[in-house]
A and B are shown apart, each in its own frame.
Chain A
Amino acid sequence: DAGVIQSPRHEVTEMGQEVTLRCKPISGHNSLFWYRQTMMRGLELLIYFNNNVPIDDSGMPEDRFSAKMPNASFSTLKIQPSEPRDSAVYFCASTRDTDTQYFGPGTRLTVL
Chain B
Amino acid sequence: AQSVTQPDIHITVSEGASLELRCNYSYGATPYLFWYVQSPGQGLQLLLKYFSGDTLVQGIKGFEAEFKRSQSSFNLRKPSVHWSDAAEYFCAVARNSGNTPLVFGKGTRLSVIA
Count class of interface residues, chain A = 20 to 34
Dominant secondary structure at the A interface: strand
Q: Can you show 19 pairs from A to B with CB atoms below 8 A apart? A: A42-B105, A42-B107, A50-B99, A56-B101, A95-B99, A97-B99, A98-B96, A98-B97, A98-B98, A100-B46, A100-B98, A101-B99, A101-B102, A102-B46, A103-B44, A103-B45, A105-B42, A105-B43, A106-B42
The 8 closest A-B pairs by CB, nearest first: A98-B97, A43-B104, A103-B43, A103-B44, A45-B101, A31-B99, A105-B43, A42-B106
Further contacts, 17 of them, CB under 8 A, given A42-B105, A59-B101, A102-B46? A30-B99, A31-B99, A33-B101, A35-B102, A42-B104, A43-B90, A43-B104, A44-B104, A45-B101, A45-B102, A91-B43, A95-B98, A96-B99, A98-B96, A98-B99, A101-B99, A101-B102
Q: Give the contacts of A50-109 with B (CB-CB under 8 A).
A: 50, 56, 59, 91, 93, 95-106
Q: Give the contacts of B19-73 with A (CB-CB under 8 A).
A: 34, 36, 42-46, 49
Residue-wise, chain A 2-35 has the 8 Å CB interface mask toward B (1 for contact) of 0010000000000000000000000000110101
